[in-house]
Amino acid sequence: MNATVDDSQWMARAMALAQRAESADEVPVGAVLVVDGTIVGEGWNCPIGGCDPTAHAEIQALRAAAQACRNYRLP
């Protein structure tokens, strides 16, 4: 897979989200879910502060995307 300018943009956003997690004393992980060039979901690790073992960045991004798309079946 060849990285594109868009890939770098999305990765930069994920890194910014990871910094948000780190500033909250969480493991610094961020995630973005992109469909057709648009972010439909994003998240950062927050299991410690939220006392939620499922609150990993990827899960948070999937939950946000499902809400944004108003469907649990994501494209």
Residue positions annotated with a catalytic role: 58
C-alpha dihedral, 71 to 14 to 56 to 51, nearest 10°: -110
Question: 63 near 70, Cβ under 8 Å?
Answer: no
